[in-house]
């Protein structure tokens, strides 16, 4: 769904929006386009690359794989990671403590894009509303992305405060938006049921692209 350049390599990009609007399906469509070199809406062709998914809210077998198949993804180019073995026992992956194994996985699998859905679901016991704690987790991830020229995409729900600008509505500390170099919001069309807007909220390295519209097709593609 994005033109090359608007999700920067070596940085963190946020995708925010209310639950149920298709944020996860949109990022899986993005993963599919990257693994196949499928055209962007602008007509640009992305470089084919490998993708790492951290997606704790959906079943891999029942939800993620079917959605990737519906989007035409090259599954052999996608690595899905939720748990990590510690002392021979699996536990939830934690960005606060597991940056080193994440980096090793990225290097070993030649990963160029990492999708974390939801981003604030992988920060362990970090207080997601405390700026200093959030920065202590995200800055090493951003540094890792810079070292390996990886695009990191984090999905976050919105707060319920409609009076705030979108850039201040990512659930949790303002540090999520501050550390990110690009940010997009998914919003429902007020009139046409099923139509979604994909809006650029923040761009540090480029001008804002035009707003895109999308629908989720039957089968999840």
Q: Which residues does the chain have with pLDDT short of 70?
A: 1-5, 42, 161, 163, 166, 218-221
- Which pLDDT score, from 0 to 100, does residue 3 have? 53
- Which pLDDT score, from 0 to 100, does residue 167 have? 76
CA distance 182 to 79: 24
- CB atoms closer than 10 angstroms to residue 219: 10
Using one digit for the tens of pLDDT, what is the confidence trace for 96-121?
A: 999 999 999 999 999 999 999 999 99
CA distance 112 to 209: 22
Residue 32, SS3 per DSSP? helix
Using one digit for the tens of pLDDT, what is the confidence trace for 140-176?
A: 999 999 999 999 999 998 877 675 776 777 878 899 9
- Which pLDDT score, from 0 to 100, does residue 219 have? 56
- Which pLDDT score, from 0 to 100, does residue 1 have? 40
Cβ–Cβ under 8 Å, residues 205 and 182 = yes
DSSP state letters, 42-77? TS--PPP-EEEEEESSS-IIIIIHHHHHHTT--GGG
Burial of residue 76, with CB atoms counted within 10 A of its CB: 0-12 exposed, 13-18 middle, 19 or more buried: exposed
Q: Please give the model's pTM, rounded to 2 decimal places.
A: 0.92
Residue 156, SS3 per DSSP? strand
């Amino acid at each position: 769904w994005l033109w090359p350049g608007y999700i920067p390599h070596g940085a963190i990009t946020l995708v925010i929006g209310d639950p149920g609007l298709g944020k996860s399906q949109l990022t899986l469509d993005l993963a599919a386009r990257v693994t196949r070199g499928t055209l962007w809406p602008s007509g640009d062709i992305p470089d084919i690359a490998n993708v790492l998914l951290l997606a704790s809210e959906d079943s891999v077998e029942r939800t993620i794989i079917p959605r990737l198949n519906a989007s035409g993804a090259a599954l052999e180019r996608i690595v899905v990671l939720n748990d990590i073995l510690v002392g021979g026992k699996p536990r939830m992956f934690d960005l606060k403590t597991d940056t080193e194994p994440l980096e090793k996985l990225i290097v070993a699998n030649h990963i160029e894009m990492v999708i974390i859905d939801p981003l604030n679901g992988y920060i362990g016991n970090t207080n997601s509303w405390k700026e200093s704690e959030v920065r202590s987790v995200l800055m090493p991830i951003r540094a890792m992305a810079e070292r390996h020229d990886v695009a990191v995409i984090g999905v976050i729900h919105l707060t319920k405060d409609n009076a705030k600008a979108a850039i201040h509505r990512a659930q949790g500390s303002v540090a999520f938006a501050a550390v990110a170099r690009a940010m997009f919001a998914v919003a429902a069309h007020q009139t046409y049921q099923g139509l979604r807007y994909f809006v650029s909220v923040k761009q540090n390295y480029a001008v804002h692209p035009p707003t895109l519209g999308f629908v989720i097709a039957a089968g999840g593609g």
